[in-house]
Amino acid sequence: SASSFRAFESAAAALYAREAAVYAERRPRSSAACRDHGAGFVSNVPLHWMLDWPMPFPMVVAEAQGVHIADIDGNRLTDFCLGDTGAMFGHAPPPVVRALAGLATRGFTFMLPSADAFAAGDLLAARFGLPHWQVATTASDANRFAIRAARAVTRRPKVLVFDGCYHGTVEDTLVDLVDGRTIARRSLIGQVADLSQTTVAIPFNDVDALRQALAAGDVACIIAEPVMTNCSMILPEPGFHEALRALTRAAGTLLLIDETHTLSTGPGGYTRVHGLEPDLMVMGKPIAGGVPAAVWGMTAAVAEAFAAARDRDEHGHSGIGTTLSGSALQLACLRACLEEVMTEEAYAAMLDRAAEIEAGLASVIRSFGLPWHVARVGARLEVVFRSAPLRNAAEARAAAMPETERALHMMLLNRGFLLTPFHNMVLVGPGVTNAEAAAFVAAFADAVAELSSSAEA
């Protein structure tokens, strides 16, 4: 009810202040480093996002290995953020470290294929089902290039996204659906071109809206996460992916699936596990073990049309590619990651532990009688502040409890567990033990008990 929502939020604000003080007290060195030595950077950090965590100041990391992270003040945490997915298969995976060491005397980047580059292409095709791939340096770029290719191939102007999406810094996707209209996301800085001219946003899980949006025949591609993971967690309703594929095929619109986060589902990603049939697919972040790399794959038909589009123009400035993309560094790490890190065994351990944590959190939620639930896509879980599954971003926005979320983060952090900021997201890497999973559930129970009793007081 509204009153318990308000009671929770105001109790959470008070608990947050207490926990933030505990955090700061344990981190004199991190605090001094950020204050005294950061002047070379804007706002004292190398990337301004680092100020968006719920902590009062960032902890300064000394090292991270596997699923553990330690700061310069000697605090060691179990890491369920994993660099917001960049380290989903663990920090500094040994096979990737060996690949890096092997390059030490052989060079990193030539704008030419390296001897082991070709093996990585075959591995991608075999695992993810699409026959042809290209390498980029970030998932943002891979999405940008895949969209450009889709427009070239279809010769259509528009991109369709689902409200609440995040696909990186791609302008075409940085929109929101407000009162039925697509507008540039209000947080976007320095945007000049009117994004509503070329992007259409519709609610996830809305087949009628999809049919209508495709009817004009001007949509080059739909870009979608198969499960929305950047607006709380919104699972597809039964039949939604089938409708998405059938309607895009009928309309001549390409389907671009962004698996950057849903690679958590299993080997081959959500696409392979659930038999999706995208025309284009993007993955970034953890695909090369945390070394900056991303890939985009396409069907034979798209690859052929893409090659033909390039032949129409002068070579060079295609708007696709960056100088360091496809480097020996990326390919060696990509290959090591696919062959030796993203294994069946690694996934099995991640999924088992994630299922245990999901069951544990759900039972805590039940025992406190809270109107919350846990959503999960493989190794990725999200605590959602309402009892029914979310259907779309409007519902996700309505279910937000920012103070409660912030307080939960800090309480769990002070109890030894790091969660992903802007989410109640738990990403379970390989190597989390049963004991750690149980300790995390106990810490969550403890935090919820405090929140509930302060909300009642």
Question: Does 258 engage in binding with ligand PMP (CB under 6 A)?
Answer: yes
**Which range of residues in 160-168, 268-276, 296-304, 435-443 is near ligand PMP by CB under 6 A?**
160-168
Question: Does 158 engage in binding with ligand PMP (CB under 6 A)?
Answer: no
Of residues 168 and 431, the one with the C-beta less far from ligand PMP? 168
CA distance 384 to 387: 8
**Which range of residues in 56-64, 67-75, 254-262, 432-440 is near ligand PMP by CB under 6 A?**
254-262
**Which range of residues in 54-62, 133-141, 361-369, 423-431 is near ligand PMP by CB under 6 A?**
133-141
Of residues 185 and 415, the one with the C-beta less far from ligand PMP? 185
Q: Name the residue with the smallest CB distance to ligand PMP.
A: 168
- Single residue of 44, 138, 330, 424 touching ligand PMP by CB under 6 A: 138
Min separation Cβ 52 and ligand PMP, Å = 12
**Which range of residues in 45-53, 132-140, 296-304, 345-353 is near ligand PMP by CB under 6 A?**
132-140
- Single residue of 144, 151, 241, 285 touching ligand PMP by CB under 6 A: 285
CA distance 391 to 113: 44
**Which range of residues in 26-34, 117-125, 257-265, 324-332 is near ligand PMP by CB under 6 A?**
257-265
CA distance 163 to 370: 27
How many chain residues bind ligand PMP (CB under 6 A)?
14
Tokens 């968006």 -> residue? 52
Tokens 């699936």 -> residue? 257
Min separation Cβ 143 and ligand PMP, Å = 6
Give me the 172-191 binding string for ligand PMP, x by CB under 6 A, dash otherwise: --------------------
Question: Does 284 engage in binding with ligand PMP (CB under 6 A)?
Answer: yes
CA distance 322 to 9: 45
Query: Which stretch of DSSP H or E encloses residue 344?
Result: helix 344-367
**Which range of residues in 7-15, 162-170, 267-275, 323-331 is near ligand PMP by CB under 6 A?**
162-170
**Which range of residues in 146-154, 164-172, 328-336, 378-386 is near ligand PMP by CB under 6 A?**
164-172
Of residues 168 and 266, the one with the C-beta less far from ligand PMP? 168
- Single residue of 148, 151, 167, 406 touching ligand PMP by CB under 6 A: 167
Of residues 75 and 140, the one with the C-beta less far from ligand PMP? 140
Question: Does 166 engage in binding with ligand PMP (CB under 6 A)?
Answer: yes
CA distance 39 to 318: 38
Query: The tokens of 254 are what?
Result: 């390409």
Contact 85, 284 (CB under 8 A): no
**Which range of residues in 2-10, 139-147, 181-189, 396-404 is near ligand PMP by CB under 6 A?**
139-147
Of residues 15 and 235, the one with the C-beta less far from ligand PMP? 235
Of residues 341 and 441, the one with the C-beta less far from ligand PMP? 341
Nearest residue to 234 via CA among 226, 245, 222: 226
Task: State in Å, rounded, how far the first CA of the chain is from the last one.
Answer: 17
Question: Does 380 engage in binding with ligand PMP (CB under 6 A)?
Answer: no
Question: Does 260 engage in binding with ligand PMP (CB under 6 A)?
Answer: yes
Neighbours of 387 (CB within 10 A): 11
**CA 13 to chain CA mean position, Å:** 27
- Single residue of 230, 299, 327, 420 touching ligand PMP by CB under 6 A: 230
- Single residue of 148, 261, 380, 406 touching ligand PMP by CB under 6 A: 261
- Single residue of 206, 225, 405, 450 touching ligand PMP by CB under 6 A: 225
Query: What are phi and psi for residue 175, nearest 5 degrees?
Result: -130, 165
Per CB under 6 A, residues contacting ligand PMP are 138-140, 143, 166-168, 225, 230, 258, 260-261, 284-285
